[in-house]
Amino acid sequence: MMRLGLAIMVAALAAASGCRPDSGKSAATSAAEAAAERNIMAVEPLDMTHEASRKPVFRWRLPSSLRSPGTVTFKLFEVGRVEDPRKAAGQEKQIALGTSLAGANSTDFEPFKPQPPVVLTGDILDMKQLAPNTWYHWKVRVISDMAAGDADFYFRTRTDDAVPTAAKP
């Protein structure tokens, strides 16, 4: 009888404080969603992807504070064949810098076919595709009237050559 009373009292206190049995999951999920809404998110290739195309198209999602950017800059670095690319900062070599992306498309970039008014510089201009089985680091910097943000992502290319994309009708 005493245990039943204690269980009822604990349940009443939990209900009074607004706690639910799954409230920990909801709070964790909403905190993760809130953090994602504040940050630039990689869409393609995803962060730490293995077997990415050697002719990638980069796509990202902007948080609401950066949805109307005035400036978007893209950088691509070759890291090499290392165990963990995040620990190889001194070994990176910048191979591409794309500027004026806000005028073309502020959420994707195709460095092997840049669209005007994008300005692309770097060693990538002399490349047909990225090196095989190699880690790369890509960075996006976005500036809007009210906020600025940047994000860093990593991917490793596949061994096979890039497959040419089919022509659009």
Q: So what's the pLDDT on residue 106?
A: 85
Q: Does the 40-157 domain belong in CATH 3.40.630.30?
A: no
pLDDT tens-digit profile of 4-13? 444 454 444 4
Global pTM reads 0.75
Residue 163: pLDDT band with limits 50, 70, 90: low
Please state the domain extents for the chain: 2-32, 40-157
Determine the average pLDDT of the residues in 82-100: 92
Cα–Cα distance for residue pair 22/165, rounded to 1 Å: 46
Residue 2: pLDDT band with limits 50, 70, 90: very low
**E strand or H helix at 77, and its extent?**
strand 69-80
Instruction: Name the residue type at position 62.
Output: L
Share of the chain above pLDDT 70, in %: 74
